Amino acid sequence: MSLNIEFREFDGDFYARAQEYLAKSNYRSCESCYADQIGWGKVYHTSYAEIGGFYVIKYNETEESVAFSAPMGAGDVKSLIGKLKSYCDGRRMEIWSATDECIELLNKGGVKYEATLMRDRFDYIYLAEKLSTLSGKKLHGKRNHLSRFKKMYNYAVEEITPDNIDVARKLNYLWCEKSGACTEKSEENEFCAFRAVADNFEKMSVRGIILYVDGKPIGYTMGSPVHQGSDTFVVHFEKIATEHHGAYVAINNLFVKSLEGKYKYINREDDMGSEGLRKAKLSYYPDILLEKYNVIIK
């Protein structure tokens, strides 16, 4: 007989409570960041439940299996897994995007499982100081692109606030049109995820900037800390809606500088298996390539 667990839709009102759970786990993965959870939750209709000192996301449920997130919080993990298995009622139980910290948690609880590395889900994490200074021989090309951008264009940066967030919304729409996002499923989903985060902007610790050239907005970027007190900041969205040389290098660099050294690491999320994204993210030489696993509970 399956156990009835109440799963709820994500909204901005759960943000503060989620921070208490997340601080106890201290993960660095993008999936552990509440802004990511609420953004992609609206896209994929995921939901969460609070169980025994943890909260857990239900990612997917079919007749054959149920997929959950890594447990976030602290408590008796063996009891938690037992309850989730009961909910599955004989179906295969999986944990998606589990990091080494999650694996360690399962091991401490004596949970039996099989784990398979999922390369497409690895997060690219960089020292914030490196992205801010672009120092070193390996990033010589990035420095050149940034220098050329600054020389070619009359640019300015404006922090995103409730008063100007509609500018970012318009840029998001323009990027969607420019990239053909309405015909590319992954990009279309990202377009919708941005709207969900923007709709809850004032309820979460989200920061961002708008990049202008000659007084006209050309791009935006937005992110948030994994949790309040975390040393890791996650960049959720970064879009340039026009053709300006070096604009992506510039907005990346200028955004990290705007964080004023408050974070040790910048997590630029995974590459979703895109060869282009993988090449771009590797070109910045990540300091941590955060491994993630697909876990099947025995």
Helix (H, G, I), strand (E, B) or coil at 297: strand
| Residue 1 belongs to a domain | no
| Residue 295 belongs to a domain | no
> Which residues contact residue 173 at a Cβ distance below 8 angstroms, ignoring those fewer than 6 apart?
191
| Least confident interval from 32-41, 67-76, 138-147, 188-197 | 188-197
Do 112 and 93 touch, CB atoms closer than 8 A? no
Do 102 and 94 touch, CB atoms closer than 8 A? no
Say whether both 89 and 231 belong to one domain.
Answer: no
| Residue 70 belongs to a domain | yes
pLDDT tens digits for 216-244? 999 999 999 999 999 999 999 999 988 99
- Residue 181 pLDDT: 57
The CATH number covering residue 69 comes to: 3.40.630.30
| Residue 296 belongs to a domain | no
Q: Which of 122, 156, 184 marks a domain boundary?
A: 122
CA distance 71 to 190: 24
| Residue 36 belongs to a domain | yes
pLDDT tens digits for 195-216? 899 999 999 999 999 999 999 9
Domain membership of residue 251 as a residue range: 123-289
Say whether both 202 and 238 belong to one domain.
Answer: yes
| Residue 2 belongs to a domain | no
Q: What would the two tokens of residue 276 be?
A: 């282009």
Say whether both 118 and 134 belong to one domain.
Answer: no
Residue 147 scores a pLDDT above 80: yes
Say whether both 85 and 188 belong to one domain.
Answer: no
Show the CA angle centred on residue 245, arms to residues 243 and 128, nearest 5°.
Answer: 115
The single-letter code of the amino acid at 192 is C
Q: Which of 122, 137, 160 marks a domain boundary?
A: 122
Say whether both 273 and 155 belong to one domain.
Answer: yes
Do 207 and 153 touch, CB atoms closer than 8 A? no
**Nearest of 209, 196, 192, 224 to residue 34 by alpha carbon:** 224
- Per the structure, the count of domains in the chain is 2
pTM reported for the whole predicted model: 0.94
Residue 104 scores a pLDDT above 80: yes
